[in-house]
Amino acid sequence: MSNTFIQIHPNDNILAALADLPKGTAIEHNGSPFHLIGETKAKHKFATQDLQVGDEIFMYGTLVAKAIKPIAQGETITTENVVHASSEYAVGKEKVSWNTPDVSKWKDRTFNGYHRADGSVGTANYWLVIPMVFCENRNVEVLKSSLSKSLGYHTTTDFIVDTETLINQYKKGASTDDLLATEIMKTPEEVKRTRTFPNVDGVKFLTHEGGCGGFRLDSDTLCNLLAGYITNPNVAGATVLSLGCQNAEVKLLEEAIEKNSPNFSKPLYILEQQKSESERHFIEEAVKKTFLGLIEANNTEREPAPLHHLVLGLECGGSDGFSGISANPALGYASDLLVALNGTTVLSEFPELNGVEQELINRCETPESAKKFADLMDSYSAKAVALGSGFKNNPSPGNIKDGLITDAMKSAGAAKKGGTSPVMDVLDYTEKVTKKGLNLLCTPGNDVESTTGLAGSGCNVICFTTGLGTPTGNPVAPVIKISSNNTLSERMKDIIDFNTGSIITGEATIESIGEELLEYIIEVASGEVVPAAVRLGQEDFIPWKRGISL
């Protein structure tokens, strides 16, 4: 790989700039020297040959665009001279083999997790407080204000201001000098030692705008999603607040829990406000039962577990032109390592698989999975077109500015997160992961809707690659932020956990960084490292209404 540009696949007729390349830069490619027509900024691409209107453009060996204007050799590819294009796909064309990576060094490795009665293992231990309908959001907030601080679950930051110590000193008659000398700054570690329930990582209060009105399908889907959170291995139990008359009926939630976990045995308290004597009594009962649940949850401690209990969500957001060259393939290699260890990985964001459908179909282990994937993609695409949109509209202004100018180009890089292993199962939104190996999960490309779905399907860790920087997380699954480049890692070091920029500079390989990333995932799963999203309290939760969201 040149230190200034790269050809990712032998069939590509565009090259990616690894640094800002001035007009007139001399390029030597496949024995054919030429000069850049104009400046090509880092992360953007330029043509290796003259292209005419209608000519196909390939990157990652995949069709990603077509020329709408003549493009000269050495000219930069832009939204002015190309449009999105992607290949047709069909089930039953061919099957690809997989070269399993060597995982002997991790054969006997474990992580320290929370063992659940159903055999799953959590990487965290949370209690949930959930509303069945938006009418209960206010009551959830009341519970949050009543429980969080008093139990020692302060807003998570790099430091905590202990105002209560100052207040207590004042009440005891402390002088001005004594007050000024009082130490009130505490680290999260110091506060954790004073928690009422030290084995419970937190109480998470989820609010949403659903549960009633709209389509009944939305409420059914919401119940399935909430059931997925309650049965997620990172969750010890839950308090559920129901109004009583909403579309998202309690019986639907209970049926979804039974489907996900037939022998469900976690503590679960479902309270209905319309059956309560008063709001005061309703809140009082919710607080007391939550407290009892926390006592039970606190009895579970971390214990060693084989790595095959990891269920790793594969996510990207705020992507740039380097994401598909460094962060995504490094995560893909880590995914392959985990799959080879009999673990589970889940690739989501179906709009960002547009153009690589055939590759994924060919990797499906069964014809049924291949057909389900094709059908889901067809249905999703048709709905988008019917509403006047389409997958072609997926790249955001930030994506385009940093080199991802068509959806197929973005997708070809995004799919690298899934590595090269076989696709063992294909899941629709809210379906629970049940098969080891790589799974495909239908979610939107919207970062938070997608991560919300990953945790709802059972992921106990999520890796989130980014080239531009995205300050999001998840309430129950620790989210590891992975930078595609050194500049982002340094500029937004408060939210970035792991950097793959050394792949771009040529100092490391995809394989070596992928191995380092797996080690980091194990540390996070064991609670030895707290990712920035957890530390900063980034707990985004947005259920997907099954309308069109790209």
Block mean pLDDT (10 aa), the chain, length 550? 86 95 95 94 96 96 96 96 93 85 96 97 98 97 92 70 84 90 76 82 96 88 97 98 96 97 96 96 97 97 98 96 96 98 97 94 96 95 84 83 89 96 98 98 95 98 97 97 97 96 96 98 97 94 76
Residue with tokens 């191995």: 515
**pLDDT at res. 158:** 60
**Quick one: tokens of 194?**
């004073």
| Arch. (CATH architecture) of 5-84 | Roll (2.30)
Residue range(s) of every CATH 3.40.50 domain in the chain: 122-153+195-302
User: What is the pLDDT, as a whole number, of residue 157?
Assistant: 57
Residue 240 Cα distances to 136, 224, 243, angstroms: 10, 14, 10
Encoded tokens for 207 = 């609010």
H or E, element range at 494: none
For the entire predicted model, the pTM comes to 0.93
**38, amino acid identity:** G
Beta strands in 308-453 (DSSP E): 311-316, 344-347, 423-427, 437-441
CATH, range 122-153+195-302? 3.40.50
Domain boundaries for CATH 2.30.130.110 within the chain: 5-84
**CA 226 and chain centroid, separation:** 17
Strands (E), 135-246: 160-161, 185-186, 202-205, 235-242
Residue written as token pair 């000398």: 181
Beta bridge partners of 121: 115
- 384 neighbors 391 (Cβ within 8 angstroms): yes
* Count of C-beta atoms within a 10 Å radius of residue 501: 21
The torsion angles phi and psi of 366, rounded to 5 degrees, stand at: -130, 155
Give the three-state DSSP class for 32: strand
Name residue 465's beta-bridge partners: 316, 482
